[in-house]
Amino acid sequence: RKEVEQDPGPFNVPEGATVAFNCTYSNSASQSFFWYRQDCRKEPKLLMSVYSSGNEDGRFTAQLNRASQYISLLIRDSKLSDSATYLCVVNMLNGGSQGNLIFGKGTKLSVKP
Amino acid sequence: SAVISQKPSRDICQRGTSLTIQCQVDSQVTMMFWYRQQPGQSLTLIATANQGSEATYESGFVIDKFPISRPNLTFSTLTVSNMSPEDSSIYLCSVGPGSGGYTFGSGTRLTVV
């Protein structure tokens, strides 16, 4: 079983739509969780961290279910500028070396006018 | 968060040759990290570059193929040696975690012909 799995998409949605991405991880000892955004031919950039209690940043909501080893990202009122690949990232330890970071392959989102 | 300048941004190289990629950080950092992102794949950590000591390589990566230098706390290079078409990929350096999460350089898109 792959360590971090995501639906590769692409998700093609109209502007204004709500879209949800899912991610599962295999190591129950994983400690911290993130969603990164990677635009075409660009480097990944942090979108948001994911906390056990769930967290929201504007139109973006992230949730974590440790029992199911499942992370989600919800985007409301999609904008054209949301078109990108969304990477699920899991760290086996809090802080410290990136040697424990596991990246998903990413889910591609395309928002159409 | 740190700002990373990575170069070259892209290159096309002949098989059998070597390419050195540079990353300059605008602040001192203890560890720098080098990743590879093959087409359609997730980011894979190549090695951790520590100042004043040998780099630490992940499984599947060796120093002879990917020699790394870390002469000071703001700079590192990764060399891709004796290149083959299978080395065609995006190579990224990274630092963190910091206040902005893990920060990545803009990447080097390498094509080996």
Is the CB of residue B46 less than 8 Å from the CB of residue B94? no
Q: Using 50, 70 and 90 to split pLDDT, how confident is the model at B10?
A: very high
Q: Using 50, 70 and 90 to split pLDDT, how confident is the model at B47?
A: very high
pLDDT at A36 over 90: yes
Is the CB of residue B89 less than 8 Å from the CB of residue B38? yes
What are A's interface residues with B at a Cβ cutoff of 8 A? 4, 34, 36, 41-46, 49, 87, 89, 95, 97-99, 101, 103-106
pLDDT at B30 over 80: yes
Reading phi first (left if > 0) and then psi (alpha if -120 to 50, else beta), residue A15 is in: beta
The residue among B6, B37, B38, B42 with the most chain A CBs within 10 A of its CB, best to mutate, is: B42
Dihedral sign from CA coordinates of A64, A68, A70, A73: negative
Q: Give the one of B94, B106, B107 whose C-beta lies nearest to A98's C-beta.
A: B94
Q: Using 50, 70 and 90 to split pLDDT, how confident is the model at A41?
A: confident
Half-sphere exposure of B7 (CA within 13 A, CB side): 4
* pLDDT tens figures, A3-32: 899 988 899 999 999 999 999 999 888 888
pLDDT score recorded for residue B83 = 97
Is the CB of residue B48 less than 8 Å from the CB of residue A99? yes
